[in-house]
Structure 1
Amino acid sequence: MLQFRRQRVNTYRLNVYIFYRKTLGNFNILTASFMPAFLSSVFAILIERPSRRTLLSLYVSNVATETVWNMLEARQMVTPIKYGQVAIFGVSIALLLTFWRAGLYERDEHKMDPMFKIVRFVIGPHEQKDHNRSGSTNNFYRKKKNKSDSFNNPRWNTNRKHKNIVFHLVNQALRAYKRIINKIKCCDRHAVCPHPFSCIYYILQGTTKMFSIGLGLQLILKLVLNFQTLFKSPEKFGKALFRRDTLQLANFLAGSSGIFRAVSCLLRRITGQDNPLFAFPAGLLAGIAFTQYPDTTIALYVFWKTAQIAYNLGIERRHVPDVPGFNMFLYCLSTGILFHVALLEPHNLRSSYWKFLINISGGRVACMNRKPLDVWGLGTSQGLAQTLLRTRTKEEVQFLGCKW
Structure 2
Amino acid sequence: MPQTFSKFIPIAAPIPTTCVDYVHPWTDSCLQAICGLYLYCMLESLRIYGTVYMVTLLMKGKIPRKEDLRKTICGIVQSTAFLSGTGFGYSLFLCSLRRVLGNFNILTVSAIPAFLSSVFSILIERPSRRTMLCLYVSNVATETLWNMARARHLVRDIRYGDAAIYSASIAMLLYYFKKGYHKSSEHSDAMYRVIRFVVGPYEEYGSSDRSQEASRAFYRQVQNSPNDSSQSGSGTSTSTSTASGTSPWRSRKHKNSVLDLVNQMLRAYKRLIYKIKCCDRHSTCPHPFSCLYYVMQGAGKMFSVGLGLQVFLKLILNSKRILSSPANLKQVLFKKQTLNLAVFLGAFSGIFRGTMCTLRNLTGKDRASHAIPAGILAGIAYLRYPDTTVALYVMWKAAQISYNLGIEKGLLPKVPGFVEFLYCFSTAILFHAAILEPTNLRPSYWKFLHSISGGRIACMSRQPLEVWGLNTTESLKKVLEQTKTVPVVYF
TM-score (norm 1): 0.94
C-alpha distance in 1 between matches for 2:335 and 2:229: 46
The equivalent of 2:314 in structure 1 is 222
Does residue 373 of structure 2 align to residue 281 of structure 1?
Answer: yes
**For the residues of structure 2 that align with 1:157 and 1:349, how far apart are their CA atoms?**
62
- Mean alpha-carbon deviation: is it higher for 233-242 or for 136-145? 136-145
- Give unpaired runs (5+ residues) of structure 1: 400-404
Q: What are the equivalent positions in structure 2 for 1:295-306 lying under 5 Å apart? A: 295-306=387-398
Residue 26 of structure 1, CA deviation:
1.7
Corresponding residue for residue 33 of structure 1: 110
Paired AA for residue 223 in structure 2: K
Query: How big is the shift at 1:369?
Result: 0.6
Instruction: State how far apart, in whole Å, the 2-side matches of 1:13 and 1:84 are.
Output: 35
Instruction: Please show how residues 69-148 of structure 1 align to structure 2 within 5 Å.
Output: 69-108=146-185, 112-131=188-207, 132=209, 133-134=211-212, 137=216, 139-140=219-220, 142-148=222-228
State the distance in 2 between where 1:94 and 1:354 align. 32
Report the Cα offset of residue 141 of structure 1. Answer: 5.1
Partner of 1:250: 342
1:302, CA displacement in angstroms?
A: 0.6
| Contact kept in structure 1, 2:81 and 2:124, CA below 8 Å | no
CA 294–368 in structure 1, closer or farther in 2 if over 3 Å, else same: same
**Aligned position for 2:66:** none
Give the Å deviation of 1:279.
Answer: 0.2
> Structure 1 residue 58 and structure 2 residue 150: aligned?
no
Q: 2: distance between equivalents of 1:97 and 1:208? A: 20
* Whole-Å separation in 1 of the counterparts to 2:283 and 2:467: 71
- Once residues 222 and 378 of structure 2 are traced to their aligned partners in structure 1, the CA distance between those partners, rounded to angstroms, is 32
Amino acid at match of 1:120: R
Does residue 339 (structure 1) correspond to residue 431 (structure 2)? The answer is yes
Once residues 343 and 224 of structure 1 are traced to their aligned partners in structure 2, the CA distance between those partners, rounded to angstroms, is 34
Shift of 1:149: 8.8
Alignment partners' CA distance in 2, 1:100 and 1:178: 33
Partner of 1:402: none
SS in 2 for 1:130: coil
User: TM-score, normalization: structure 2?
Assistant: 0.78
Instruction: Show CA shifts across 1:316-364 (max 9, x none).
Output: 1111000000000000100000000000001110000001101111110
Give the whole-Å Cα distance in 2 for the aligned partners of 1:358 and 1:314.
39
Task: Identify the range of structure 1 (148-157 vs 282-291) with the bigger mean alpha-carbon deviation.
Answer: 148-157
CA distance in 1, matches of 2:134, 2:190: 16
Q: 1:169 to 1:150 in 2, by over 3 A?
A: closer
For residues 145 and 225 of structure 1, the distance between their equivalents in structure 2, rounded to whole angstroms, comes to 50
Instruction: Give the 3 Å change call, closer, same or farther, for CA 150–303 of structure 1 in structure 2.
Output: closer
Q: Look up the SS of the partner of 2:316 in the other structure.
A: helix
- For 1:163 and 1:13, how far apart are their aligned partners in 2? 76
Checking the alignment, whether the CA contact within 8 Å between 1:106 and 1:113 is kept in structure 2 is no
2: distance between equivalents of 1:319 and 1:325?
18
Deviation of the 1:7 alpha carbon: 3.1
For 1:62, what is the secondary structure of its paired residue? helix
| Distance apart, 1:112 and its partner CA | 2.5
For residues 241-298 of structure 1, what are the alpha-carbon distances to aligned partners after superposition, in whole Å with 9 as ceiling and x for unaligned? Answer: 1111111110111011000000000000000110000000000000000011100001
1: distance between equivalents of 2:453 and 2:219?
66
Shift of 1:6: 3.3
Paired residue type of 1:331: Y
Q: Deviations over 1:361-396 (max 9, x none)?
A: 111000001011011011100000000000000000
Q: Secondary structure at the match of 1:105?
A: helix
CA distance in 1, matches of 2:175, 2:263: 45
Note if contact 1:145-1:182 (Cα within 8 Å) is conserved in structure 2: no
Does 48-57 or 12-21 show the bigger shift? 12-21
Q: Give identity over the alignment, percent.
A: 55
Q: Distance in 2 between matches of 1:316 and 1:128?
A: 21
Letter in 2 for 1:126: Y
CA–CA distance in structure 1, aligned partners of residues 343 and 229 of structure 2: 40
Aligned pair partner of 1:17 in 85, 94, 98: 94
Structure 2: distance between partners of 1:12 and 1:370: 20
Deviates more, 1:354-363 or 1:142-151: 142-151
Deviation at 1:5, TM superposition (A): 3.6
Aligned-partner Cα distance in 2 for 1:56–1:23:
31
- Number of residue equivalences: 397
Deviations 1:151-205 (A, max 9, x none): 59654656x7642101110011001101100000000000000000000000000
* 1:198 corresponding residue in structure 2: 290
Alpha-carbon distance in structure 2 between the residues aligned to 1:4 and 1:310: 32
**Map of 2:43 onto structure 1:** none
Give CA deviations for 1:192-234 in whole Å, capped at 9, x if unaligned.
Answer: 0000000000000000000001100110000100011100110
* Structure 1 counterpart SS, 2:107: coil
Q: Which amino acid aligns with 1:140?
A: R
Q: Which one of the candidate residues 231, 236, 240 is aligned to 2:332?
A: 240
Gaps of 5+ in 2: 1-76, 239-246
2:144 counterpart of 1:67: yes
CA shift in 2, pair 1:82/1:319, >3 Å: same
Q: How does 1:314-353 map to 2 (within 5 A)?
A: 314-353=406-445
- Distance in 2 (CA, whole Å) between partners of 1:249 and 1:280 is 23
Equivalent residue number for residue 182 of structure 1: 274
